Amino acid sequence: MIKIKPVETKAELDEAHAIRKEVFVVEQQCPEDIEWEFEEESKHYVALNEEKIVGTSRWRYTENGIKMERFAVLKSQRGLQVGAGLLNTMLIDTRSLGKKIYLHAQLHAAPFYAKYGFKPDGEHFWEADIEHVKMVFNPTE
């Protein structure tokens, strides 16, 4: 069973960083310098499967609201609802804060976020040589 929890220790954050490095820097070849922006002001989460950290995500306040980002799941754990658990937990934790919730979805992941109430908002754009679309959470539609 997948368990989601906020990061509480440096060791947990180090494991989250290792997963992000594997997924974004190694697999997707994102520039490493942009991967570590906004670390201090972000609220980080980890997903555990049998007490082993297998996924991570974070959210932070921006001038536009609450931005959810850096969803990363180990390749061996994909398809096990790890991303869904991370997203649902962060939505539970942020919905009551009274801010717009949004994310920048890689285009291939946009249908996943749409299942949870996110709607495309604007034109597609490129970040780290990957096509993205801004998506805004709207649970009432």
Q: What is the pLDDT of residues 3-54, one digit of tens each?
A: 999 999 999 999 999 999 999 989 998 888 888 889 999 999 999 999 999 9
Q: Are 35 and 28 in contact (CB under 8 A)?
A: no
Establish if 137 belongs to a structural domain: no
- Express each pLDDT in 61-114 by its tens digit: 999 999 999 999 999 999 999 999 999 999 999 999 999 999 999 999 999 999
Question: Is residue 134 a part of any domain in this protein?
Answer: no
Q: Is the dihedral of CA 33, 128, 45, 134 positive or negative?
A: positive
- By residue range, what is the domain housing residue 52? 2-100
Compute the Cα dihedral for 62, 113, 81, 141 and give only its sign.
positive
For residue 49, being part of any structural domain is answered with yes
CATH number of residue 35's parent domain: 3.40.630.30
126 residue type, one letter: W
CA 121 from chain center: how many Å?
A: 18
Q: At 141, is the pLDDT very low, low, confident or very high (cuts 50, 70, 90)?
A: very low
Alpha helices (H) along the chain: 10-20, 32-35, 82-94, 110-114
For residue 22, give every residue at least 6 positions away whose Cβ sits within 8 Å of its Cβ, in sequence order, or none: 72, 74
The tally of domains found in the chain comes to 1
Quick one: average pLDDT of 104-125? 95
Q: 52 in a domain, yes or no?
A: yes
Which burial class, exposed, middle or buried, applies to 42 when counting CB atoms under 10 A from its CB (0-12, 13-18, 19+)? middle
Task: Give a yes or no: residue 13 inside a domain.
Answer: yes
Q: Is residue 55 part of a domain?
A: yes
Look at residue 114 and tell me if it is in a domain. no
pLDDT beyond 90 at 129: no
Is residue 124 situated within a structural domain? no
Kindly report the CA angle at 41 between 83 and 68, in degrees rounded to 5? Answer: 30
